[in-house]
Amino acid sequence: MAETTAIALLLVLLVQPCRAAQVCSDTHNFFANLCGPSTSHLNNFQGHHACDPHNKLIKPKNVAELQAVVRSHAKVRAVGAGHSWHKDLFCSGDVNVYLSELETITPLYTAHAQGTRLNVSASDYEDFPIRANLTAMTVTVDAGVPQRMLIEYLLSLGDGYIFGSSSGLIDQTIGGAVATGTHGSSTLYGSISEQVVAMEVVVADGSLRTFTKEGDPHLFRALQVSLGRLGILTKVTLPIIKQPAYDRVLIEEDTQQTLAYYKGVQDGYNRLAAAAKGGGATAHSELGAFLTGLDQMTGTWGPVTKVGLRGMITLNNTAKPVYSHWYQPVAGLPLAGFDEQGRFAANKALIEQAETIAPLTDLAVKACQANGTALSAYEVHQVLGHGRQGWVDYDNQGLLDMWEVAVPMSVIGDCLEKVVGLLEGEGSRGFFDFIVFRVTRQEAGYLSYGADGPAVFMNINDWAGSEALSLEHPNVNFLGLQQLLRDECQAKFHWGKAGWQTVNSCFDGATAYPTTWCHFGCAVQELDPTGKFAGESDMWRWRAAKGGKEVPFIDCCSSEGFDYGQCSCLPRADCMRWRVPETSAERSEL
C-alpha cells in the first residue's frame, strides 16, 4: 500500500508456555490482549483475511528468543502491522512472530502512554531501537519500530532529518515496509527497500547475519524485497538527509491532457534510455535529469469524473525548514493491537492511534491538495489524519480492497490509453475512487517493482467488491481492468495488496520478473532450501532449463545468482491464469 501500501509483515511470539502464562496474567501488561489460545484470530487489520486456527502466535522479548523460535519450528513467518490484503503473505502454517514487543521497543510505547515525548535520548536506556549517526548520515532501526515513530524521532533531531522517500501510509513497521517494497513517489530515492544499505536478519538455521550491498551483492538484492521468504529482519540501516523544503504545484487536466502527459513520459523515457544505452556521459546525464524531473510526482484520474490532477514538486533551496515551526508532534503513535475478535485495531493497541494530524513524507499526496511551499513531512490528508482507527472504521463502511500495480515507464502511455478505452461509458461502473499515479526508479532488488526499469504505480481501490467477502458477487468491471493491466501492460502487482485471490492467483514469477525471478530462487536455495519461511503461499516455484532440457533448478545457481547466460528461467506450468468470469454460471463457481 502506497501507500499503503503498503502493506507489511506481522508476527507474534509466545516463546515459553510458562513465560506466556506469566505475561498474560499481568494486569499491567499492555499486550495481554495478544495472549491466549485463540490463534485463529491472526488476520489483517480489517479482520477479512484470517489464518487457519493451527497458526500459533509468538512474541519474543529479544533477538535471542527469536533465534530460538526459528531453530525449533519448521514453519515461521514474521508479521508487522497487519496491512496486507491476502493471508498467504503472512500466515506461516505453523508459527507467526511479532517483533514490535521486543524489550528494546516497548519503553518507547510506555513512555508515550505516560505522556513522555518520543524523542528520548538514545542514552536513556541500553539498546535504544533507533540509532541516528549524524556523521555518517544514517539511521539504524529495529524492524518492529513503526515507520511513523521513526519519522517523528528523526524530525525531532535538531532542525529535523528524514530518509529520502517514505510512503503515503506510515503505520507499517519498518521491517514490513522493507520486506514488501513499500514506496512513496520518487525517481531519485526509490522505495524504502531501495534506500536500505544494511540489514540484520535471522536466517533459517537461527543464526543472526548482517548483509550489505558491498559484502554480498547477490543476497542483499534478494533481501531488499523478500516478503519474509529468506529470513526475519531484525534491523535495517537507511541513509538520512536534512529535512528539505519543497515548492508544489497542482495541475488540473481533462482525460486527453492526462493521456498526453503520460504518453510524453513514456516517449521521453524511451528516447533517452535508448540514447543512454549506446551513448556516453552526456546521454546518461540527460536520462538522469529527465527522471529526476519526475521525482515526487503524483497524479490522479477519475474513471467516473474523467478529471485528472497532477502534483509536481521541486526542491526549494531558500526556504528554511525549521522543524519546530512546521511540525507539531502527534498525540499518539501506531502499534497493531487485537480487538476481542482478533482483528488488528487501534483501540486495543498499546498506544491509541493519533486523532490529530500526523506527519507524511510522501510529498505527492499533499501535492494534490494545494500549491505553496512546505516541508517534505507534510500533514496527512483528512482520512489519514484520524489515525489507524479511522482506517478501521472507514473500511467497515466500505469493505475497501486496495489494489496497486507497477507499470513499466516504457509502456505507461500506451497502457493508460487502453485503460481509458476500457472504462468508457458503462465500463466505469464499479469504480468509486480515482486512480493514483506515482513513480519509482529502476531498483536493485530482485522482487522490487522497478526491477526491470523505472515504473509508474497505479493505485486503484475497490469499494464495490471484496476478494475475501464478496467473490460470489464480483466487481466484474474492476477485475476486468486488473486483468488488462496484468495481460497487456506488463504490470507487477503490489506484494501486500489485493489481487492474489483472483487476478494474480496463479502467479508466474518468471513472467512477472523476467530478469530477476530466478536470481531470487537461487537466494532461496542458499538461505532457506527447506522452505521454513515459505508460509502458505504456492507462489514460490522455480524451474530451469539448460541446453533445451529441463534440469534441477540448483544446477543453474551460483554464489552470484542464476546463470541467465547458460540457463533459461522457465515459466510456471502447473495452473491456469485466472480470468474474469463472463457468465453468471462462472461467477457462481467462485
Question: Does residue 447 form part of some domain?
Answer: yes
In this structure, the answer to whether residues 251 and 369 fall within a common structural domain is yes
Distance between CA atoms of residues 535 and 229, nearest Å: 8
pLDDT at 30 over 70: no
pLDDT over 70 percentage in the chain: 71
Question: Does residue 308 form part of some domain?
Answer: yes
* Greater model confidence, 288 or 101: 288
Supply the pLDDT for residue 103: 83
* Greater model confidence, 44 or 283: 283
In this structure, the answer to whether residues 418 and 487 fall within a common structural domain is yes
In this structure, the answer to whether residues 286 and 425 fall within a common structural domain is yes
What is the mean pLDDT of the segment spanning 96-105?
A: 83
Supply the pLDDT for residue 330: 34
Strand partners, 238: 139
What is the mean pLDDT of the segment spanning 500-511?
A: 90
In this structure, the answer to whether residues 426 and 369 fall within a common structural domain is yes
Residue 367 banded pLDDT, cuts 50, 70, 90:
very low
Its sign, for the CA torsion 259, 411, 166, 290, is negative
In this structure, the answer to whether residues 401 and 468 fall within a common structural domain is yes
Question: Does residue 235 form part of some domain?
Answer: no
Distance between CA atoms of residues 353 and 330, nearest Å: 9
Supply the pLDDT for residue 396: 52
- Residue 419 belongs to domain spanning: 246-321+353-493
Which of 386-390, 418-422, 498-502 shows the highest mean pLDDT? Answer: 418-422
Question: Which backbone phi and psi does 439 adopt, to 5 degrees?
Answer: -130, 160
In this structure, the answer to whether residues 473 and 535 fall within a common structural domain is no
In this structure, the answer to whether residues 287 and 360 fall within a common structural domain is yes
Supply the pLDDT for residue 41: 53
Task: Give the count of domains, the chain.
Answer: 2
Distance between CA atoms of residues 4 and 388, nearest Å: 12
In this structure, the answer to whether residues 418 and 446 fall within a common structural domain is yes
What is the β-pairing status of strands 198-202 and 208-212? Answer: antiparallel
DSSP string computed for 19-55: HHHHHHH-TT-TTGGG-SS-GGG-B-TTS-SB--TT-
Question: Does residue 296 form part of some domain?
Answer: yes
Supply the pLDDT for residue 516: 98
Question: Does residue 425 form part of some domain?
Answer: yes
Supply the pLDDT for residue 22: 29
Question: Does residue 20 form part of some domain?
Answer: no
What is the mean pLDDT of the segment spanning 98-119?
A: 64
pLDDT at 217 over 80: yes
Give Cβ neighbours of residue 344 (< 8 Å, ≥ 6 apart): 10, 43, 44, 45, 81, 82, 336, 337, 338
Task: Please say whether the beta carbons of 467 and 498 come within 8 A.
Answer: yes
Question: Which of 493, 524, 540 is where one domain is finished?
Answer: 493
Question: Does residue 310 form part of some domain?
Answer: yes
* CATH number of the domain enclosing 260: 3.40.462
Residue 466 banded pLDDT, cuts 50, 70, 90:
low
pTM score of the predicted model: 0.82
pLDDT at 136 over 50: yes
Residue 240 banded pLDDT, cuts 50, 70, 90:
very high
Least confident range from 9-13, 62-66, 470-474, 523-527: namely 9-13
Summarised one tens digit per residue, pLDDT across range 414-464 is 999 999 999 988 778 777 778 999 999 999 999 999 999 999 999 988 876
- Strand order across the 76-79 sheet: 56-58, 95-98, 76-79
Q: Compute the mean pLDDT over every residue in the chain, rounded to the nearest whole number.
A: 76
Q: Where are the alpha helices (DSSP H) in 248-311?
A: 255-278, 281-292
In this structure, the answer to whether residues 429 and 310 fall within a common structural domain is yes
What is the mean pLDDT of the segment spanning 243-247?
A: 74
In this structure, the answer to whether residues 444 and 543 fall within a common structural domain is no
Give Cβ neighbours of residue 310 (< 8 Å, ≥ 6 apart): 250, 251, 253, 258, 261, 297, 298, 299, 300, 368, 437
In this structure, the answer to whether residues 300 and 440 fall within a common structural domain is yes
Residue 373 banded pLDDT, cuts 50, 70, 90:
very low
Question: Does residue 392 form part of some domain?
Answer: yes
In this structure, the answer to whether residues 405 and 532 fall within a common structural domain is no
Strand partners, 456: 407, 439
